[in-house]
Amino acid sequence: MTKKETYEWKTESFLLPLMEEHKFELVDVEYVKEAGTWYLRAYIDKEGGISVDDCEVISRRLGEWLDKEDFIEESYILEVSSPGLGRPLKKEKDFIRSIGKDVEVRLYKARDKRKEFTGVLKAFDKDTVTIEEDGNEILFNRPEIALIRLAFDF
């Protein structure tokens, strides 16, 4: 397990019981470097949406635990937030919840001169994702997908 994966796993292990206690959902935990700064991010949600106060409660508890455990070597910024409208689909429960909904699929490499596709999520398994775009079903292999998330129209 990489250092990044270890940090994410330990943080997720701490957060899961806390999520149950507050009746929240842990959408994702990520440890990423952006513009030279490390970020530890926890994305949480609940029925009806997450509030700033909800994020603050979890951030305080998580921050206290991280200070006590002190297992992350680098300096980092802790963020606890909602996954937002364009939340990525990462876990099986995300895909199940999104069947029949519009999704955006971004590929690492172009297929038919395109890297972005938008359509209705029709099916998925551990190896593939199928969407329907303009009446045509398109099957993607998971390793070729850079990002898949709910599509939103304004």
CA-wise closest residue to 101 among 85, 84, 113: 85
Residue pLDDT, tens place only, 108-134: 999 999 999 999 999 999 999 999 999
State which residues of the chain have pLDDT below 70.
153-154
Residues 21 and 71 in one domain: yes
Q: Is residue 86 part of a domain?
A: no
Q: Is residue 68 part of a domain?
A: yes
Which pLDDT value is given to residue 67?
A: 96
| pTM for this prediction | 0.70
Which pLDDT value is given to residue 115?
A: 95
Which pLDDT value is given to residue 97?
A: 86
User: What is the rounded distance in angstroms from the CA atom of residue 67 to the CA atom of residue 90?
Assistant: 28
| CATH number of domain containing 117 | 2.30.30.180
Residues 72 and 135 in one domain: no
CA-wise closest residue to 59 among 88, 9, 24, 94: 24
Which pLDDT value is given to residue 151?
A: 86
Residues 10 and 73 in one domain: yes
Residues 115 and 142 in one domain: yes
Which pLDDT value is given to residue 152?
A: 74
**And the tokens for 110?**
């172009």
Host domain of residue 62: 3-81
Number of independent structural domains in the chain: 2
